[in-house]
Amino acid sequence: MPAQNIYILGIESSCDDTAAAVLHNGRILSNVVATQEIHQKYGGVVPELASRAHQQNIVPVIHEALKQAGIDKKQLSAIAFTRGPGLMGSLLVGTSFAKSMALALDIPLLDINHMQAHILAHFIEEEGFQKPQFPFLALTISGGHTQIVKVSDYFEMEVIGQTIDDAVGEAFDKSAKILGLPYPGGPLVDKYAQQGDPKAFPFPKPKVGHLDFSFSGLKTSILYFVQKQVKENPDFVQENLEDMCASIQATIINILMDKLKKAVKHTGIKQIAIAGGVSANSGIRKTLKEAEHKYQWKTFVPKFEYTTDNAAMIAIAGHYKFLKGDFADMGVTAKARIPM
Ligand code: KG4
Ligand code: ZN
């Protein structure tokens, strides 16, 4: 770590979490997230409501992050914000706030790619957590993305496989919805799966190109299966919720592991890091740890609070951009889609 004191404020507002974090020389001083409960009753994120909630939350969240860090805003070295990818209306709130704050404090601005940040969360200085070494493979699994990324350096990342339809988080959430679980259903599927039999209901695995993924077929087969069962027994879901969740989760994990094995074979890289909201999944974490012995991989699972959307990951990405002197222009604009 450099001898200088680098304080980075990270701001994240790409989807439905308003988050701010303060990082000192790569170490987290505060990590505040305001999750927007409002979307639950609509069964998914409503972009208009998300952007309005960001506007309400951003000032108190940043204020709280600075307070918890115990520093004054004048001590900040730079401000890092999520430029994209994400929902335009949501991104605009964080982007314009970051720009005006950097301008007012007369400090540099750092524009961050949300997907790169999910991966760079592995570089936050944390006791008991090792950092991956370059090159490594990252499996980024979130509500919006499913990618296998070859990471050659902090900002040198190449997508070598990705979903051709739904993201893995969507597969969890949509399956959960079919089972009548509230949004976002991923964590609930995880919870019920822990009590269920993963072999109870076998679902087919999709056939897609080399390192790519497909999850829309799984959702459809779950839907047809449930409809058929409910016709015979209206209480089917209630009576089999745990087994259904365990079976769905096992199918998803199998799909992910198949492609990871192929990616390792293809690249010769045996260091695997997972990132993104779905890497909070306990089944995925367990399977990956088992792969260390089974396939002699070295695996990296981030600390729980750095998996779902957070600003600590934006701040650490900002830290490395700051070290490179790679600052954003004040004219920078939010972008809904940005390549890795
Ligand atoms: O990275 P993230 O917070 O937001 C996006 O950028 O998309 O990921 C959110 C996704 C949601 O689909 C949510 O259901 C899923 O991550 N998720 C989980 C778990 N925790 C969050 N899926 C399965 N098991 C979990 N424990
Ligand atoms: Zn995310």
Which domains does the chain possess? 7-124+307-324 (3.30.420.40), 136-301 (3.30.420.40)
Average pLDDT, the chain: 95
Task: Please report which confidence band the pLDDT of residue 237 belongs to, taking 50, 70 and 90 as the band edges.
Answer: very high
With a cut of 90, say whether residue 50 has pLDDT above it.
no
Distance (angstroms) between ligand 1 centre and the Cα of 141 equals 8
CA pair distance 93, 96, nearest whole angstrom: 6
Contact (Cβ atoms closer than 8 angstroms) between residue 297 and residue 291: yes
CA-closest candidate to residue 37, choices 51, 48, 50: 50
Is the alpha carbon torsion for 154, 270, 172, 21 positive or negative?
A: negative
Counted residue by residue, the chain has a size of: 340
- pLDDT of residue 271 exceeding 80, the answer is yes
- Tell me the percentage of the chain whose pLDDT exceeds 90: 87
Q: Could you identify the atom of ligand 1 that is nearest to the CA of residue 309?
A: 3
Residue 118 CA: nearest ligand 1 atom is 1
41-50, 142-151, 301-310: the lowest-pLDDT one: 41-50
For the cut 90, the answer to whether the pLDDT of residue 4 exceeds it is: no
* 85 pocket-lining for ligand 1 (C-beta < 6 Å): no
State mean pLDDT over 252-279.
97
Query: What is the structure's pLDDT at 89?
Result: 94
Residues 104-122 pLDDT 10s: 999 999 999 999 999 999 9
State the pLDDT at residue 118.
Answer: 95
Ligand 1 atom 23, closest CA = 186
Among 156, 174, 169, 146, residue whose Cα is nearest residue 259: 146
d(CA 257, CA 244): 20
Q: What is the pLDDT of residues 7-46, one digit of tens each?
A: 999 999 998 899 999 999 999 999 999 987 877 777 778 7
> pTM to 2 decimals?
0.93
End-to-end alpha carbon distance in the chain: 26
Query: Is the distance from the beta carbon of residue 280 to the nearest atom of ligand 1 less than 6 Å?
Result: yes
Q: Which two tokens stand for residue 267?
A: 């690249």
Confidence of residue 3 (pLDDT cuts 50, 70, 90): low
Q: Which residues surround ligand 2, an ion (CB under 5 A)?
A: 142, 309
Please check the confidence at residue 162 and state whether its pLDDT lies above 80.
yes
Checking if the pLDDT of 2 tops 70, the result is no
Evaluate whether 43 touches 183 at the Cβ level (below 8 Å).
yes
To test the pocket of ligand 1, the residue of 35, 248, 278, 285 to mutate (highest count of ligand atoms within 8 Å of its CB) is 278
